Amino acid sequence: MPGTDRNTAAAPPALNPGTLNPEELAHIDAWWRAANYLSVGQIYLMDNPLLREPLLPEHVKPRLLGHWGTTPGLNFIYAHLNRAISARDLDMMYVMGPGHGGPGPVAAAWLEGTYSEVYPHISQNEAGMKRLFTQFSFPGGIPSHVAPETPGSIHEGGELGYALSHAYGAAFDNPELIVAAVVGDGEAETGPLAAAWHSNKFVDPMRDGAVLPILHLNGYKIANPTVLSRIDADELDSLLRGFGHEPHYVEGDDPALMHQRFAEVLDSCLDRIQEIREHARSSGDSTRPRWPMIVLRSPKGWTGPKTVDGLPVEGTWRSHQVPFAEARENDDHRAVLEQWLRSYRPEELFDESGSPVPEIRDLHPLGERRMSANPHANGGLLLKSLHMPDFRDYAVPVEVPGTGQTESTRVLGTLLRDVMAANDSTFRVFAPDENNSNRLGAVLEATDRAWNAEILPGDDKLAPNGRVMEILSEHTCQGWLEGYLLTGRHGFFSCYEAFIHIIDSMFNQHAKWLTTTNDIEWRRPVASLNYLLTSHVWRQDHNGFSHQDPGFIDHVVNKKSDVIRVYLPPDANTLLSVADHCLRSRQYVNVIVAGKQPQLQYLDMQSAIEHCTKGVGIWDWASSDQDAEPDVVMACAGDVPTMETLAAVELLTARFPDLKIRVVNVVDLMRLQDDRTHPHGLADADFDALFTTNTPVIFAYHGYPWLIHRLTYRRTNHKNFHVRGYIEEGTTTTPFDMCVLNSIDRFSLASDVLDRVPRLRDVGAHAREEFKNALIRHRQYIRTHGEDLPEVREWQWSPAAGTTNAVPNEPLREPV
Amino acid sequence: MPGTDRNTAAAPPALNPGTLNPEELAHIDAWWRAANYLSVGQIYLMDNPLLREPLLPEHVKPRLLGHWGTTPGLNFIYAHLNRAISARDLDMMYVMGPGHGGPGPVAAAWLEGTYSEVYPHISQNEAGMKRLFTQFSFPGGIPSHVAPETPGSIHEGGELGYALSHAYGAAFDNPELIVAAVVGDGEAETGPLAAAWHSNKFVDPMRDGAVLPILHLNGYKIANPTVLSRIDADELDSLLRGFGHEPHYVEGDDPALMHQRFAEVLDSCLDRIQEIREHARSSGDSTRPRWPMIVLRSPKGWTGPKTVDGLPVEGTWRSHQVPFAEARENDDHRAVLEQWLRSYRPEELFDESGSPVPEIRDLHPLGERRMSANPHANGGLLLKSLHMPDFRDYAVPVEVPGTGQTESTRVLGTLLRDVMAANDSTFRVFAPDENNSNRLGAVLEATDRAWNAEILPGDDKLAPNGRVMEILSEHTCQGWLEGYLLTGRHGFFSCYEAFIHIIDSMFNQHAKWLTTTNDIEWRRPVASLNYLLTSHVWRQDHNGFSHQDPGFIDHVVNKKSDVIRVYLPPDANTLLSVADHCLRSRQYVNVIVAGKQPQLQYLDMQSAIEHCTKGVGIWDWASSDQDAEPDVVMACAGDVPTMETLAAVELLTARFPDLKIRVVNVVDLMRLQDDRTHPHGLADADFDALFTTNTPVIFAYHGYPWLIHRLTYRRTNHKNFHVRGYIEEGTTTTPFDMCVLNSIDRFSLASDVLDRVPRLRDVGAHAREEFKNALIRHRQYIRTHGEDLPEVREWQWSPAAGTTNAVPNEPLREPV
């Protein structure tokens, strides 16, 4: 059974049966009691913080909100990490998977003084303690979780599953850092956490910091036991060794014994980490070690009341949140609370002023060594701008717009390669085994793929110190990247568009984190989280329906407008310009959608910069409404919709040379919203100048069409917007057929114009028939030949199209 | 090293070194060669299917799309499973995690005859084979994955990660079934798959079928090696034992040796499963066994070309998709293809007509024992309607609308309890450790929670044969439920609203599966996937900002309208009515959003049924526009918005007794869309009758407000819609403050009315000031008292409110 040392590694470090001398033991226990006292106080009290008078109903909060169960364990570990940091002068962070244990780290930060430094009104005295208690889970106060408001945290923890991936993200490229990561046994049941154990195959003991996982088995979730606490000890041990770890066990409930045991085990783990580092760094041998980890098995709600109302509480799921709820109304409950609080002997812990007594106040490392003040946990403090090559140097020459065949993301890869080379410890790229598939392979000229497992001859660019992060887990990629960004570095995540939904919920949490930190002065801005969504809906003709979903944009734009940005660059030069902008930005989530297949190029670099700066603009070279009111605005956003729009323009102008078409291309999607709603939003007058106030608008959009309606419903001309986009029609078929199935192809767009422009009403019958026949011909051709018609496959923009000198508003004639 | 038997269980079954006699070996190998031949043919050929003439460019498809790498492994396993099914008369399904290996199961279904049965034009002869080849990944044909079009599949597999949870879902309550589940080594890196290994702690060997996981290590993903293929053999073995399995290894590349070895190992695994069943079922001892599993280590692209253009292909990532791409244009590539195809010796496999020779044609089980024809894989065939108690029997009495305090989901729990009791092998409920938290605890009176791990005294309602499925993994819950539904049973998933986003992408895949199967005649309808989203955004005052996201609805409504339904019942009786409807429905995803906190009850059962039948309707008892044109429509959808709307009505009518307010409540959200867009959509005339064509509409909506605009932008009166909803403002605060932060509280709604009703323009100043002051008072009160004002907390509808006899359109007077 665990609880005795079950470490059977070849050379277990000798363990000292009494690591702590009596004074150390007393001090560490006092610190723990103080943290626990302050935690219970936060959950329950709004007055009488030092219990200097008997506990009365009005001292207890009317609404009791918070989670006690996990908190004493978090505090216990905190106390011991502090001892080790001080003894060894460690650079250490603390990631708390069970982030609902918010009272713990808040208590610790207050004891360490950090809390009063960043929130001076929460001073280290009785008045401050009262405010500390009252503000917790209280209107106008702080959240109940390890939220951004908590100094020392990069991990909110409200949604479980990301502790390990965040911890590894923090450790990459931080060779001196140790990240202690508590994994709750409930959290351990989640998929993202289960996958993240294998992160140790991506760590280089030379280049990277160390993660020390601490699996906290306290047995219960909200209502159920946890799986890992109820499997046989040998199964658990096998599992953790299978994850690549050397597990050390600490089990029990007697504080004195547990302190000794945890101190011993922590020392041996830290010794082992030191050994691993020294070996790798002196020998140059990065071979993956079996990293140590700790399994802490302690009662849920440890040190809390044993029973309440005759039911067991400590050691059961009843400790999960507030162990008993009626401490204000019910005298018995209040007596239990008072007894519980007094069991920590506050009179020994706090002096007359309410400040921690010196033995506790000084029992933490100094300055930035305090985990609550470690600058890695406020990454903006450490953030340096990327050294950026001039993106204009990577420009694709464009002599004639709408021609050529370039894989735009491959061009982006060359820029990223040089960003990678110029920032060799502050930039990584992340992809779920799709870096090369997404045409970003050039980055492998600057670095390798991170890989610290077996390497065989013929393997391509694998090395422990690589900085291209590829694992077939969107969750792990996202978690690593978040951890990397929040500790002050930069990154770039490329993903198949449909499967980025896998991390919808993680995006939510990160966006909420950014929103909240925007209002926290001491939190410094971090680099933006940059997504490249490629292998997108229009070019999943290969994998079919399951790979077609452009809805991540819809998901993203539900979050606060001050933290989200969406870009749809139609070609390589606009992609370069957008990427440069995103890589320089702070505190955003930038979503870039761009195809990886060979595609037409529209804008030379100067035009691309101008276009991206505006975010939306008229493409004069494709328009025929010079100095006149257009008959129709043909708007487009996204590479494939842009191509189909231009092809439709060509079809129309060839047949109706007098038709006045205005082509508007949208790169920055949020320009469509008004400026009251989004900082990038166009003012109504500017929007009207582009889209008119009364002309039909045929809008070809990359994603679900209703998003454009949602963004524009307040605009003057909205009633004339007719949007085409992806309407969940698709299968394994040709690229052009994907457009046809969703009526966003050139013929359908051109027909939409025929249907909506009054001047064409009487003259469009012949053209309508032509377009209809073209679609029938397409269908027949692909079913026989299996590929698109040559004139579609090879279509390029003809510079003759789109120009007209005809007088506007004269009657249009039917083409002959 | 694996490859030798590393099974160290106490009593390993004796293995026969030559399980297959020479004839069996020859037949099984011939079947495998035939399946491989047909797989390669599907990827490459559109003519000359039997290679009866030399391979010419025009025989090769112009666009080569498909995945070869995993396919020969899938085929190999299929062949061996067939042998075992025949020998043992097994009821067996096959779940293929690497679903991109679509050509494999299509080939197998054709060899088994099933394919021609369901698609008669794909006959078992040369003409049929030509069509079989051509249709694959071809316009108008079939997808490249193990899609719904593939007989025998319940698992598309395009998005990786769900093989095991689907397999376990299929096995629950199917005591005779064995589900062979191939887990790809790429897939094994995903979070959902990593979590699903622990599903064996939820299996009862008496009640449930068995899952036989087959971890297929072929070494590579798209571009990278896989983690599990590159860790030490002892680590892998530890990991799998840690997951609770007894692993058996088969490794190599020599077909003859591999056939013998796999046959031996499969026999011993099936013996072990039989032993486990017999023990449990004869002794009544359900104790969790260490279930056997297989690790198959074989080359990626096994039996494919060794090298192409001088680069290794078999056994490398280059085999992942189409191993070489220019077989049409490049004579050398085409020669490689021809040689490859001929290496399977098609002349031995198919007779003159192109039909499989008898030795192959008959080498499969009969009828429904064929995995391609197993009815469990077309669950609608087995589906029986639930025995449903009369939901009216659970009604909450409502004497006066808008009064009382009932936890609506607790009432639902009593209905679910009796559904559970009445359907003891076809209904399960699923929740990520939230069943009781979501107030569905009554179901535990009818069954236990499934739990086959250690049970301790004091544990609550845990048993191996329980049917309440709780694991802290939304992914696993969702995957189990999908597998359970797709094999013809019924289920109900309750989840915290914010965290249902964790399975956004799984929902996508399931919705797409339903959409596709609607067009496949031989696929019979399955029960709907029912979600109850509770602990919703407005009552996450406890957990705060991280737990607030009502956007799953937005995500859902992007999918095809014929498979999605969204309900927002405002109270217990409407919830009962909606739940009854959903549990009886087929082929939908039903999303029900309802709070779990004590809340006001509005409708007695008869009114609730009428209201839910209409989906949207005027609440006359709350309205004051009798027989007249209203001054304002106050619409609401969702329980909290409904309460705030009614409170606003009361505030307004108290001050302006002559004001004509129409209260419209929306239960069925899709009624808002028009009937051309959604089958539940209201016709424009009906919509106009409710919402008028020109009256201000103040709409209080549960979720993100822009969704209402998206659903109604085509409606006549849309320009007058003013929608309040969640705008990403929130923290740990009081319930009412959550409303205030998002301006959906009664005072803000009432102020919106003042701002928008012309008749109030000149007389509302005093009321506006009152409402403003009420909000200030609220803010001050909660910051002091930590809970809402008593008049807000205790507010109930007063029947006097809302009635008026005044003449419409007479001038309104300022209240005194």
Same domain, B371 and B395: no
Question: In Å, how far is A503's CA from the nearest CA of chain B?
Answer: 7
> Is A508's CB within 8 Å of B502's CB?
no
Q: Which pLDDT band holds residue A789 (cuts at 50, 70, 90)?
A: very high
Supply the pLDDT for residue B537: 94
Hey, CA dihedral for A300, A306, A309, A310, is it positive or negative? positive
In a domain? residue A268: yes
The complex scores an ipTM of 0.95
CB-count exposure of residue A14 (10 Å: 0-12, 13-18, 19+): exposed
How far is B639 from B637, CA to CA, in rounded Å? Answer: 7
Record: contact A508-B501, CB cut-off 8 A: yes
Nearest to B401 by CA among B746, B667, B799, B745: B799
Q: How does residue A540 score in pLDDT terms, banded at 50, 70 and 90?
A: confident
Work out the minimum CA distance from B752 to partner chain A, whole angstroms.
17
For the cut 50, the answer to whether the pLDDT of residue A109 exceeds it is yes
pLDDT of residue B4: 37
Helix B22-44 and helix B103-111: axis angle, to 10°?
120
Q: Which of A323, A349, A365 is the last residue of a domain?
A: A365
Is residue B9 situated within a structural domain?
Answer: no
Q: Is A671 helix (H, G, I), strand (E, B) or coil?
A: helix
Yes or no: say if B154 and B68 are a contact pair by the CB < 8 Å rule.
Answer: no
Q: Which residue of A has its CA nearest to B516?
A: A545
pLDDT at res. A17: 55
Confidence of residue A9 (pLDDT cuts 50, 70, 90): very low
Best to test chain A binding among B63, B443, B716 (most A CBs inside 10 Å): B63
Interface test with B, best of A505, A540, A787 (most B CBs within 10 A): A505
Asked if residue A159 and residue A45 are part of one domain, the reply reads yes
The whole-angstrom distance between A768's CA and the closest CA on chain B is 23
Same domain, B463 and B595: yes
Nearest-Cα residue of chain A relative to residue B320: A437
For position B555, what pLDDT does the model report?
98
Q: pLDDT-derived band of residue A11, with 50, 70 and 90 as boundaries?
A: very low
Note whether A504 contacts B501, CB cutoff 8 Å: yes
Q: Are A595 and A625 within one domain?
A: no
Q: Long-range pairs for B773-778 at CB < 8 Å and ≥24 separation? A: B774/B747, B775/B740, B775/B745, B775/B747, B775/B748, B778/B736, B778/B737, B778/B740, B778/B747
Query: Is-contact A225 A219, C-beta < 8 A?
Result: yes
pLDDT tier for residue A814 given thresholds of 50, 70 and 90? low
The answer on A198 and A126 residing in a single domain is yes
Are A244 and A157 in a shared domain? Answer: yes
Domain membership flag for residue B606 = no
Q: Note whether residue B44 is domain-resident.
A: yes
| Domain C-terminal end among B377, B401, B435 | B377
For the beta carbon of residue A465, count every other beta carbon within 10 angstroms.
18
- Residues of chain B neighbouring A512 (CB-CB closer than 8 A): 545-546, 728
Identify whether the C-beta of residue B462 lies closer than 8 Å to the C-beta of residue A225.
yes
CA of B336 to nearest chain A CA: how many angstroms apart?
22
Chain A contact set for B786 (CB, 8 A): 46, 61-63, 134, 138-139
For residues B407 and B354, state if they share a domain: no
Q: Which phi-psi region, left, alpha or beta, contains residue A673 (left: φ > 0; alpha: ψ -120 to 50)?
A: beta
> How far apart, in whole angstroms, are the C-alpha atoms of residue B579 and residue B576?
5
pLDDT category, A628, cuts 50, 70, 90? confident
pLDDT, mean of each 10-residue run, chain B (816 residues): 35 57 95 98 97 97 94 98 97 97 98 97 98 96 95 96 98 98 97 98 98 97 94 98 98 96 98 98 97 98 95 92 93 96 97 95 93 98 98 96 94 98 98 94 98 93 97 98 98 97 98 97 98 93 89 97 97 98 98 96 97 96 90 98 97 94 97 93 97 97 97 96 96 94 98 95 91 96 94 89 48 50
B807 φψ region: left (φ > 0), alpha (ψ -120 to 50), beta (else): beta
Pick B190's closest partner by Cβ from A240, A472, A508.
A472
Contacts of B156 in chain A (CB under 8 A): 546
In tens, the pLDDT along A196-239 reads 999 999 999 999 999 999 999 999 998 899 999 999 999 999 99
B761 vs B736: CA distance, rounded Å = 27
Q: In this predicted structure, what is the pLDDT of residue A20?
A: 94
Has residue B775 been placed in a domain?
yes
pLDDT score at B808: 43
Residues B503 and B564 in one domain: yes
Please state, rounded to an integer, the average pLDDT across all residues of chain A: 94
Do residues A469 and A542 share a domain?
Answer: yes
- Which chain A residues contact residue B541 at CB under 8 A? 65
What count of Cα atoms within 13 Å lies in the side-chain half-sphere of residue B592? 30
DSSP β-ladder status, B462-463 and B449-450? parallel
The per-residue pLDDT for B812 is 52
Closest-CA residue of chain B to A317: B459
Give me the domain span that covers residue A93.
Answer: 22-365
Structure tokens at B149: 């079009």
Q: In this structure, is residue A10 part of a structural domain?
A: no
Q: Report the CATH number at residue B639.
A: 3.40.50.920
Same domain, B356 and B462: no
Cα separation values, B229 from A168, A350, A714, Å: 22, 56, 55
Q: What is the CA radius of gyration of chain A?
A: 31
Same domain, B371 and B416: no
Q: What is the per-residue pLDDT for A4?
A: 37
Min distance A341 CA to chain B CA atoms (Å): 21
B46 and A786: CB-CB below 8 Å?
yes
Residue A456: list chain B partners with CB under 8 A. 225
Which chain B residues are within 8 Å of A138, Cβ to Cβ? Answer: 732-733, 783, 786
DSSP-derived 3-state class of residue A245: strand
B313, B348, B377: which is the final residue of a domain?
Answer: B377
Find the CATH number of the domain harbouring B90. 3.40.50.970
Residue A206 near residue A466, CB atoms below 8 Å? no
Instruction: Give the chain B residue whose CA is nearest to the CA of A159.
Output: B546
> What residues of B are in contact with residue A732 (Cβ under 8 Å)?
65, 137-138, 141-144
Taking alpha carbons only, the member of A168, A148, A134, A121 closest to residue A65 is A134
Would the CB atoms of A224 and B470 count as touching at under 8 Å?
A: yes
Instruction: Tell whether B121 is covered by a domain.
Output: yes
Domain for residue A605, yes or no? no
In this structure, the answer to whether residues A504 and A582 fall within a common structural domain is yes
Q: Do B501 and A505 count as a contact with CB atoms less than 8 A apart? A: yes
State the average pLDDT over residues A474-494. 98
Q: Are B459 and A235 a contacting pair at CB < 8 A?
A: no
Domains of chain B: total: 3
A chain contacts of residue B69, beta-carbon cutoff 8 Å? none
